[in-house]
Structure 1
Amino acid sequence: MLVLSRKEGERIVIDSGVEGAPIVISVVEIRGGRVRIGIQAPRSVAVRRQELEFELPAGGTTPASFSVPSAVVVEPVRAEVHLASGSC
């Protein structure tokens, strides 16, 4: 696992494998021990909160009623986020 420290307004860019469409994770706000992040990803990349995981139907695709917008703000985030005085 890669652990990075980011300040409010900073971003992390991940290659999505889709030409010209990286996954961008932005630190939107840090307040009271909570971090709000924004995730921008191609429509072909499913983004969902762990507590809302669902079983994929046979074939491994998302249900037709489930759509993933290209930019999502996910809250709350309590996973592997470490706030440090320095940045990586």
Structure 2
Amino acid sequence: MLVLSRKKGESIIIQDNIEITILSVDGDTVKVGISAPKHVDIFREEVYLSIKEANKESAATAPDNLNALMDRLRSQK
């Protein structure tokens, strides 16, 4: 992990197209602004982990759903 110190108004550039700017610091809270292309997904960690878990659950139930669908199609013949 790269650790950098930044002050209010200072930025970090990632590659050529992502800029992270420190907007404010209030006690333990740091407000950041992120400029990135529209195709780059940006999530808070807890939202990202929730999405990953939901996707994992969806993928796990997909084979069961497929088997039920196949059974239904076979019974229609």
> Normalising to structure 1: TM-score of the pair?
0.55
Could you tell me which runs of 5 or more consecutive residues in structure 1 were left unpaired when the two chains were aligned.
17-21, 59-88
Could you tell me which runs of 5 or more consecutive residues in structure 2 were left unpaired when the two chains were aligned.
60-77
Tell me the percent identity. Answer: 43
1:7 to 2:11 alignment? no
- 4+ aligned runs moved over 4 Å, structure 1: none
Highest Rg: 1 or 2?
Answer: 2
Q: How large is the RMSD of aligned CA atoms in angstroms? A: 1.8
Counterpart code for 1:8: K
CA distance in 1 between partners of 2:39 and 2:15 (Å): 13
Aligned pair count reads: 53
Counterpart mapping for 1:42-61 below 5 A: 42-53=37-48, 54-55=51-52
Higher helix share: 2
> Normalising to structure 2: TM-score of the pair?
0.62
Q: Higher relative contact order at CA 8 Å, sep ≥6: structure 1 or structure 2?
A: 1
Partner residue of 2:22? 27
